Amino acid sequence: MTEQMMNTPQHEADRLDEAGIPPMQLHHIGFKTARFLEMRAFYRTFLGVTPSLEVEGIGGFYTFDLAHHRLVLFHDPACIEQVPASAGMHHVAFLYSIDDLMRTYQRLKHKGLLPYMAMNHGPNTSFYYRDPDNNALELQVDNYGPDLLKGLEAMRALQQCSNPVEALGVMVNPETFLKAWQEGATLTELHERSYAGEFAEGTPSIPI
């Protein structure tokens, strides 16, 4: 923040301690990449995006609905590989219904794209993937469906966990989770059974 900005007097109505105005929604995400064509192909498969505008040598804008763009890929051949220990965005998450999440898992598996991890976190169950630049991508279902208050209450309840690792959730084997869904298990049943550890067999340890 510049010194001029810091010294600018505030109008009485512009108090910094007032609640912020929440945005209507998260509109889009943008990445810069040296692997433009590879990233473009990945996201066309992963999210099913289509181009709304592409500028040769600069990048492209892509969408999966009627918004003019939901994803931006900037082509920068000078980009270097990510450094694991550096600060930055950890992951991006996309919300699905349970049926669409399972169908997406099967579609991506058929394309050779498998999650590196799946977890029931309590409020949500998530399948995690990586794109060609190693960005982490989360495909999730809210375990309480459209009842956002229940999900919020479930998240806040995790604050009481004496073991921080337990607060992260329970690992899930995508294949046994899928099988239960194919056999007719509802979202509530899938949540309860996976949170009880029924689908944890064959999964790695919870990452710290």
Same structural domain for residues 139 and 199? Answer: yes
Assigned domain for 6 exists:
no
Same structural domain for residues 112 and 200? Answer: yes
Assigned domain for 36 exists:
yes
As a whole number of angstroms, the distance between CA 194 and CA 125 comes to 9
Whole-prediction pTM: 0.89
What's the domain count of the chain?
Answer: 2
Same structural domain for residues 101 and 195? Answer: yes
Same structural domain for residues 97 and 176? Answer: yes
Assigned domain for 67 exists:
yes
| Torsion, CA 79, CA 82, CA 85, CA 87, rounded to 10 | 60
65-72: long-range contacts, CB 8 A cutoff, minimum separation 24 = 67/27, 67/28, 69/28, 70/27, 70/28, 70/29, 71/28, 71/29, 71/30, 71/31, 71/43, 71/47, 72/28, 72/29, 72/30, 72/31
Residue 140 sits in a domain whose CATH number is 3.30.720.110
Same structural domain for residues 107 and 178? Answer: yes
Assigned domain for 182 exists:
yes
Same structural domain for residues 31 and 119? Answer: no
Same structural domain for residues 132 and 167? Answer: yes
Consecutive 10-residue runs of the chain (208 residues): their mean pLDDT?
Answer: 51 68 94 98 98 97 98 97 90 97 98 97 97 97 95 94 87 97 98 96 77
As a whole number of angstroms, the distance between CA 74 and CA 55 comes to 10
Assigned domain for 203 exists:
yes
pLDDT of the residue at 19: 82
pLDDT of the residue at 185: 98
pLDDT of the residue at 1: 47
